[in-house]
Amino acid sequence: MLRPLFAATLLAFAAAPGRAEPPTPNAALARMPVKEVTVFKDGHAYVVHEGTMPTDAAGNVLLDLLPTPVLGTFWPYSLDKGAKLEAVVAARRRVTVERTALTLRELIEANAGAEVVVTEGTKPPYPATIVKLLARSTEELDAAELPTGVEALPVKGNVLLLKTADGTKAVPIEHITDVKFVGKYATKVSDVEVRNLLTLKLDWAGKLAAKSAEVGMAYVQKGIRWMPSYRVELGNDGQAVVKLQATILNELADLKGVTVNLVVGVPSFYFKDTTDPVALSQVLAQLSPYFQADNYSGNSLSNAIMTQNVAMPRVNAPAPPADLGPVVEGGTQSEDLFVFTVKNVTLARGQRLVLPVAQYSLGYKDVYALDIAATPPPEVRHQSGDTPAAQIARMMAAPKVMHKVRLTNGATHPLTTAPALILKDGRVLAQGMMTYTPKLSSVDVALTAAVDIRVKKADKEAKRTPNAAKVDGNDFWRVDLTGTLALTNSGAKPVEIEVTRHVLGSVDTVGDGAKSEQVNALEDDARPVLWSSHSWPGWWTQVNGVGRVTWTVKLAPGQTAEQAYAWHYFWR
């Protein structure tokens, strides 16, 4: 929990400060460093800033940083024993900025009082002292104009006042073609601009304000994410070496020696699409496609927020050690989440960082699986027009046995959803998808089609019975079908195959060793092939369901096994 807890409302928002307030010197502004970041896979991050910041004449801390947090996640605080945080003001304020003069006008503006020799076009040069460029100051504008809620900036004119031997001369700045400085000159010019600033108002309990204060703030904002990936090296002893690697994408802020927590889990931010008012409605900078909600990698790899303590700083802390790069510590669990902690991360905004996170040995076994989806009956195909292209598509989608690797998670933390590169004996076998797997559970990662296992499927219509059912006054035919599935092992090793067959309708009978059940027709693994490309009658689901038949078969080299099943559906 953040310290201290506030009994009263902390934030005080202001669209604009008092109009007589002078511009704030840029030197008075501070950037609070990031101390710790908790990164979620969807691109949100819980960011903690802490540091010893300089105070202004009023004893407050002015920050040249205005985050864009998720509504309700912005929490500033004071860690200074002598200063209590009273309120935080987010406002647009005038700031005096010093820059290098790049034009003749800026150089003249920077050197009021300097002795020069001025040339106007083809006229003879003459000595003069720069008085000033005429301009209407912010104070003058504030006093003369009606309040509009918009910070007024100085209005610069084009008239230069020069003091000559004959008096003070007013010269249009565009007439001056050359200026020669006789003595010293400056190359820095001060200008006024409007910035979004954050003011931490501190109460020093009647005492003299210190020159600095220990303060911090925390918030949730999108802009940093991590993308995991696995390298699975299969051994010949039933053990696999699994390596987890993290790619961190930083498009939020510069990180220097920061502690980064990588979260395995599903983040849940109720107001993730609503920006907190402290952002002053500023538009978040456009992030890369990796942070977009509809991006494939953003959704497919997203698999939940963690509580985070903000520790009090140590007094008289020793000097920091040499920068040895990021160090990953062992993962820890927090509620339903698992967190990997990476210390000493230095990563500038816009950079990417790839680093190893964890390595462990997991048991595995080879698994062969055959999944045959339900296909539309002839009546549906005829109504939709069974084109040659559709026929070719069905031929190309002939059932194939898939070779998979089944990993048993015996590690101390879950496996997260991520791409998995599978290797054996130093050679790449495939790239599959690791899915979220809790401890002591197993996950299948697909390798490739098992070309040495042949599949022969034969389905045929057995009979049709008219007026077999009546629903809502409509008569339905009953169509009975039978099917056989033959598997042949043409390889040199024995295999065990897990078979799943879906059919449209209701399963009537199955062979020895098989199991049948009716399943939800809307489940992804039960939906018919090309479901969306056919015109299904509206009454179909009233009288029909989806059946599933499963069995396991062991085949020696050269052996063939056959399974029979029967089912029916209704049509009108």
Q: Residue 180's domain is classified under what CATH number? A: 2.30.30.520
Instruction: Note the pLDDT tens digit of each residue in 320-371.
Output: 443 434 444 444 554 457 889 999 999 999 999 999 999 999 999 999 999 9
Task: Report which secondary-structure segment, H or E, holds 392.
Answer: helix 388-396
At 278, list the tokens. 């402290």
- Cβ atoms of 114 and 184 within 8 Å: the answer is yes
Q: Report yes or no on 485 lying in a domain.
A: yes
Domains of the chain: total? 2
Instruction: Determine the average pLDDT of the residues in 403-426.
Output: 92
Gap between the terminal Cα atoms of the chain: 65
Find, among 204, 185, 162, 184, the residue nearest to 59 by Cα.
204
| Alpha carbons 37 and 255: distance in angstroms, whole number | 9
Structural domain contains residue 18: no
Whether the per-residue pLDDT at 280 is higher than 90: the answer is no
Residue 241 is predicted with a pLDDT of 96
Q: Which of 159, 186, 213 is the last residue of a domain?
A: 186
Does the N-terminal peptide bond of residue 4 adopt cis geometry, omega within 30 degrees of 0? yes
Predicted local confidence at residue 31, as pLDDT: 83
The Cα 433–Cα 416 span in angstroms is: 10
Please say if the pLDDT value at position 525 is more than 50.
yes
Digit-coded pLDDT (tens) for 216-238 = 999 999 999 999 999 999 999 99
How confident is the model over 193-216, as pLDDT tens digits? 888 888 999 999 999 999 999 999
Write down the pLDDT at residue 82: 93
Is 473 contained in some domain? yes
> How does pLDDT run across 157-183, given as a tens digit for each residue?
999 999 999 999 999 999 999 999 999
pLDDT tens readout for residues 354-367: 999 999 999 999 99
> Which helix (H) or strand (E) element contains residue 396?
helix 388-396
Tell whether omega for the bond before 289 is within 30 degrees of 0, i.e. cis.
Answer: no
Q: What digits encode the pLDDT tens for the residues 285-313?
A: 566 777 666 554 444 444 433 333 333 33
Q: How many Å apart are CA 398 and CA 202, to the nearest integer?
A: 72
pLDDT class of 102 with cuts at 50, 70, 90: very high
Res. 91: pLDDT tops 60: yes
pLDDT band of residue 315 (cuts 50, 70, 90) is: very low
Residue 15 has pLDDT above 70, yes or no: no
Strand (E) or helix (H) holding 193 = strand 188-203
Task: Count the neighbouring beta carbons within 10 Å of the beta carbon of residue 236.
Answer: 7
Contact 308, 46 (CB under 8 A): yes
Residue 119's pLDDT band, with cuts at 50, 70 and 90, is very high
Structural domain boundaries, residue 403? 362-571
Which residue, of 186, 215, 241, is where some domain finishes? 186
Residues 471-488: what's their mean pLDDT?
95
Please spell the DSSP secondary structure of 235-276, one letter per residue: -TTSEEEEEEEEEEEE-S--EEEEEEEEEES----TTTTSB-
Q: Do 445 and 439 meet the contact criterion of CB atoms below 8 Å apart?
A: no
Q: Is residue 356 a part of any domain in this protein? A: no
Please report whether residue 4 resides in a domain. no
Given this model, what pLDDT does residue 41 score? 87
The Cα–Cα gap between 115 and 155 comes to 26
- The structure tokens listed for 156 are 């610069």
To 10 degrees, the CA torsion angle through 528, 531, 533, 538?
A: 130
| Beta-sheet pairing, 255-264 with 34-39 | parallel
> Which of 185, 134, 184 shows the shortest CA–CA distance to 160?
134
Q: What would the mean pLDDT of 246-274 be, rounded to a whole number?
A: 88
**Can you give the pLDDT at residue 279?**
85
Q: What is the pLDDT of residues 263-277, one digit of tens each?
A: 887 667 888 888 888
Position 383 confidence tier, pLDDT thresholds 50, 70, 90: low
Give the Cα-Cα-Cα angle 195, 196, 201 (nearest 5 degrees): 120
The vertex-82 CA angle with 77 and 85, nearest 5°, equals 30
Predicted confidence at residue 386, as pLDDT, reads 53
Angle at 274 between CA 272 and CA 277, to 5 degrees: 130
Q: What is the pTM of this model?
A: 0.72
DSSP annotation of 415 reads B
343-381 burial, b for 16+ CB within 10 Å, e for fewer?
Answer: bbbebeeeeebebebbeeebebeebbbbebbbbbbeebb
In a domain, 458, yes or no: yes
Boundary of a domain, candidates 153, 186, 219: 186
More confident residue, 150 or 62: 62
Asked, for residue 27, whether it belongs to a domain, the answer is no
Domain-embedded: residue 557: yes
- Which ranges of 126-251 does DSSP label H, i.e. alpha helix? 138-144
Q: Are strands 352-372 and 402-408 parallel, antiparallel or unpaired?
A: antiparallel
The whole-number average pLDDT for the span 547-566 is 96
